[in-house]
């Protein structure tokens, strides 16, 4: 039997920490559900001491999904951090405490101002404290505690081995070896893990884990080298989200391990057909676009353009294809449905695309589909995915767009007239001028909602092919020091722009109302 690699997903913690990627509690719950369905073994749901929002997110994720996977909370080596992390996890079923402390000379001298002996003492004490907290619960016989020597890849090997040995002795069941600044190379990282395997006497009592950042574009390669050397847990994120250049991309690790099982000889519990939908969901929620040629989940990942490739593929698929699009749940642009397709055919298609919608949402998406099919002859899988994603995740909707009219052209003053309806029943009409029709629409939305924001990014792309394709607009706005994303789809790109901007404003309103606070004490 091949060894099974534990997949530890940190999209909700390290991924969420990257600029512009913060998620609301509801959004985190939605991503957590997708991660559970994907089959990840551990979800690092947040850093509870960072903010009350982080605490509640970890608590809710742990309560909702702790019976289906292990939910982890991060803590620095401080009693108050461990207390807070345990507070968020204590009443959930399968939980893990993850404590970390930097060990490299550069961090010891300039960040922590602590000598080696002090680092050792603090790490051991805090691992013991974490174990004691967990062991106080009658049903926990072996506390699930992970220790990370931050910046391990730049730590002296003999000191790293000592820290690892002592923290295992103190009770850590997983020792995670982070390349915090993305400095390692595959050979170097292989040697680090191999050194620990050969020089830490009690290493067999813990799982060796890897946590690689992508500053040199080597995070996935380094993680795989670590697996080769004996690591049995990989920490990663969907789409490689994370601090700076990101973390190792989960989808790439999984497909490399699977496609090259002949090399690695290991397996995972991941349902690979959920990789593409999960990637779309995370991209939608965070507003972080996936580059077209990104491995595994990019739109071009399975596109064969060159004639010679297409010819080869027609003769024998494996001439140019090492994975099937279906293996990763890839959604292409197959022609599927038209105006006369019934509700049954539509439901079947949505299900086979990997979505399980509640009856009410399915009905709403079906109505959107009928409206779209009225305007557009051919509806593709990609159009359906855009419609489903536009409706399916929980987005606050204080204001709804109920009518709009724009006027523009050369030699005229672009003008937008809008009507919005508020949840409380108010219906407000107003008009604005602008530099162009989109600008006029955005100004008018701000007048009605009484919210001013700074547009940071505006993108429009066509969801499928043809002149009548659906246009998908995504915006990123800044309001009150925070970033919000919005998306809108329509065959009319001005309407899609209005919907995208309004969605972002609605998120800002909801966050203001919920008193959503910025992360304050990360220090990771
Ligand atoms: O990159 C890092 O070192 C971390 C640790 C907290 C594991 O994210
Ligand atoms: Zn990290």
Considering the domain architecture, whether residues 238 and 376 belong to the same structural domain is answered as no
More confident position, 299 or 13: 13
Considering the domain architecture, whether residues 158 and 206 belong to the same structural domain is answered as yes
Q: Is 129 helix (H, G, I), strand (E, B) or coil?
A: helix
Q: Is 301 part of any domain?
A: no
519 pLDDT above the threshold of 50: no
Question: What pLDDT, on a 0 to 100 scale, did the predictor assign at position 335?
Answer: 57
- Tell me which ligand sits closest to the C-alpha of residue 81: 1
Q: Please report the atom of ligand 1 found closest to the CA of residue 13.
A: 8
Pairing of strands 70-76, 42-46: parallel
Which residues have CB atoms below 5 A from the ion given as ligand 2?
Answer: 14
- Tell me which ligand sits closest to the C-alpha of residue 98: 1
Q: What percent of the chain has pLDDT over 90?
A: 70
Q: Is 23 part of any domain?
A: yes
Task: Supply the CATH number for residue 192's domain.
Answer: 3.20.20.70
Residues contacting residue 215 through CB under 8 Å, at least 6 positions apart: 181, 182, 183, 244, 245
Distance from C-alpha of 193 to C-alpha of 157, rounded to nearest angstrom: 10
Q: Whose CA is nearest to atom 5 of ligand 1?
A: 150
More confident position, 386 or 244: 244
Q: Is 295 part of any domain?
A: no
Distance 277 CA to ligand 1 centre (A): 27
Considering the domain architecture, whether residues 142 and 265 belong to the same structural domain is answered as yes
Considering the domain architecture, whether residues 268 and 172 belong to the same structural domain is answered as yes
432 pLDDT above the threshold of 50: yes
Q: Which domain holds residue 47?
A: 3-286
Considering the domain architecture, whether residues 141 and 259 belong to the same structural domain is answered as yes
Per-residue pLDDT averaged across 42-67, rounded?
97
Residues β-bridged to residue 9: 43, 236
Q: Please report the atom of ligand 1 found closest to the CA of residue 152.
A: 3
Considering the domain architecture, whether residues 344 and 420 belong to the same structural domain is answered as no
Considering the domain architecture, whether residues 148 and 268 belong to the same structural domain is answered as yes
Residues contacting residue 140 through CB under 8 Å, at least 6 positions apart: 134
Residue burial 439-465, b: 16+ Cβ < 10 Å; e: rest: bbbbbbbbbbbebebeeeeeeeeebbe
Q: Is 318 part of any domain?
A: no
Distance 148 CA to ligand 2 centre (A): 10
Considering the domain architecture, whether residues 257 and 363 belong to the same structural domain is answered as no
DSSP character for 110? I
385 pLDDT above the threshold of 80: yes
Distance 234 CA to ligand 1 centre (A): 13
Question: What pLDDT, on a 0 to 100 scale, did the predictor assign at position 470?
Answer: 87
Q: Is 326 part of any domain?
A: no
Where does a domain end: 355, 372, 391? Answer: 391
Query: Ligand 1 site: residues with CB under 6 angstroms?
Result: 14, 100, 148, 150, 176, 178, 180, 211, 213, 524
Considering the domain architecture, whether residues 364 and 422 belong to the same structural domain is answered as no
pLDDT, tens digit, 9 for 90 and up, residues 395-420: 778 999 999 999 998 899 999 999 99
Q: Is 313 part of any domain?
A: no
Q: What percent of the chain has pLDDT over 70?
A: 94
200 pLDDT above the threshold of 90: yes
Where does a domain end: 375, 391, 407? Answer: 391
Distance 240 CA to ligand 2 centre (A): 11
DSSP character for 301? T
Q: Which of 15, 148, 226, 244 to mutate to test the pocket of ligand 1 (most atoms within 8 A of CB)?
A: 148
Residues β-bridged to residue 478: 454, 483
Q: Please report the atom of ligand 1 found closest to the CA of residue 181.
A: 1
pLDDT, tens digit, 9 for 90 and up, residues 123-176: 999 999 999 999 999 999 999 999 999 999 999 999 999 999 999 999 999 999
Instruction: Quickly state the pLDDT bin for 520 (edges 50, 70, 90).
Output: very low
Q: Is 105 part of any domain?
A: yes
Distance 178 CA to ligand 1 centre (A): 6
Q: Please report the atom of ligand 1 found closest to the CA of residue 151.
A: 3
Residues contacting residue 262 through CB under 8 Å, at least 6 positions apart: none
Q: Please report the atom of ligand 1 found closest to the CA of residue 178.
A: 3
pLDDT, tens digit, 9 for 90 and up, residues 65-99: 999 999 999 999 999 999 999 999 999 999 999 99
Q: Whose CA is nearest to atom 2 of ligand 1?
A: 180
CB 381 within 8 A of CB 389: no
The half-sphere exposure of 47 on its side-chain side, counting CA atoms within 13 A, is: 23
Number of domains in the chain: 3
Considering the domain architecture, whether residues 227 and 361 belong to the same structural domain is answered as no
Q: How does DSSP assign 187-236, residue by residue?
A: HHHHHHHHHHHHH-TTGGGSEEEEEEB-TTS-HHHHHHHHHHHT--EEEE
Distance 425 CA to ligand 2 centre (A): 46
Q: Please report the atom of ligand 1 found closest to the CA of residue 247.
A: 1
Q: Is 37 part of any domain?
A: yes
Considering the domain architecture, whether residues 243 and 335 belong to the same structural domain is answered as no
Q: Is 445 helix (H, G, I), strand (E, B) or coil?
A: helix
Distance from C-alpha of 365 to C-alpha of 362, rounded to nearest angstrom: 5
Q: How does DSSP assign 236-260, residue by residue?
A: EBGGG--STT-B-BHHHHHHHHHHT
Considering the domain architecture, whether residues 24 and 170 belong to the same structural domain is answered as yes
Q: Whose CA is nearest to atom 1 of ligand 1?
A: 180
Task: Supply the CATH number for residue 432's domain.
Answer: 3.30.160.270
């Amino acid at each position: 039997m091949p060894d099974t690699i534990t997949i530890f997903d940190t999209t909700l913690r390290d991924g969420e920490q990257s600029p512009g990627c913060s998620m609301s509690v509801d959004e985190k719950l939605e991503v957590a559900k997708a991660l559970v369905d994907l089959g990840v073994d551990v979800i690092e749901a947040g850093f509870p001491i960072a903010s009350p929002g982080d605490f509640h997110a970890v608590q809710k994720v742990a309560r909702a999904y702790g019976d289906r996977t292990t939910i982890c909370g991060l803590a620095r080596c401080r009693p108050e951090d461990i207390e807070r992390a345990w507070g968020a996890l204590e009443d959930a079923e399968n939980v893990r405490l993850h404590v970390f402390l930097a060990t490299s000379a550069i961090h010891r001298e300039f960040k922590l101002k602590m000598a080696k002996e002090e680092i050792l003492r603090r790490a051991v004490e805090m691992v013991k404290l974490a174990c004691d907290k967990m062991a106080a619960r009658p049903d926990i016989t072996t506390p699930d505690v992970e220790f990370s020597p931050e910046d391990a890849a730049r730590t002296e090997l003999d000191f790293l081995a000592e820290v690892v040995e002592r923290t295992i002795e103190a009770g850590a069941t997983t020792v995670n070896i982070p390349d915090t600044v993305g400095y390692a190379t595959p050979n170097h990282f292989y040697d680090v893990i191999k050194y620990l395997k050969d020089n830490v006497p009690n290493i067999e009592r813990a799982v060796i884990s890897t946590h690689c950042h992508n500053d040199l574009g080597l995070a996935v390669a380094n993680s795989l080298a670590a697996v080769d050397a004996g690591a049995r847990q990989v920490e990663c994120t969907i789409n490689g989200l994370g601090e700076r250049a990101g973390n190792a991309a989960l989808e790439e690790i999984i497909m490399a391990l699977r496609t090259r099982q002949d090399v690695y000889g290991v397996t995972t519990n991941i349902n690979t057909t959920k990789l593409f939908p999960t990637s779309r969901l995370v991209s939608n929620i965070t507003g972080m676009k996936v580059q077209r040629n990104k491995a595994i989940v990019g739109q071009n990942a399975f596109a064969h353009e060159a004639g010679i490739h297409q010819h080869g593929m027609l003769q024998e698929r494996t001439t140019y294809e090492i994975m099937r699009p279906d293996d990763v749940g890839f959604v292409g642009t197959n022609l599927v449905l038209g105006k006369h397709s019934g509700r049954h055919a539509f439901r079947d298609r949505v299900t086979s695309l990997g979505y399980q919608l509640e009856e009410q949402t399915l009905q709403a998406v079906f109505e959107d589909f009928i409206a779209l099919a009225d305007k557009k002859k051919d509806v593709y899988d990609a159009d359906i995915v855009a419609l489903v994603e536009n409706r399916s995740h929980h987005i606050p909707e204080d204001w709804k767009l109920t009518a709009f009219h724009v006027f523009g052209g050369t030699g005229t003053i672009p003008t937008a007239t809008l009507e919005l309806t508020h949840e409380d029943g108010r219906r407000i009409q107003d008009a604005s001028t602008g530099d162009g029709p989109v600008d006029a629409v955005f100004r008018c939305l701000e007048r009605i909602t009484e919210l001013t924001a700074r547009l940071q990014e505006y993108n429009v792309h066509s969801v499928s092919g043809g002149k009548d394709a659906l246009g998908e607009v995504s915006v990123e706005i800044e309001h009150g020091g925070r970033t919000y994303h919005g998306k809108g789809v329509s065959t009319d790109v001005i309407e899609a722009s209005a919907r995208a901007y309004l969605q972002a404003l609605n998120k800002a309103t909801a966050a203001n109302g919920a008193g959503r606070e910025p992360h304050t004490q990360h220090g990771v």
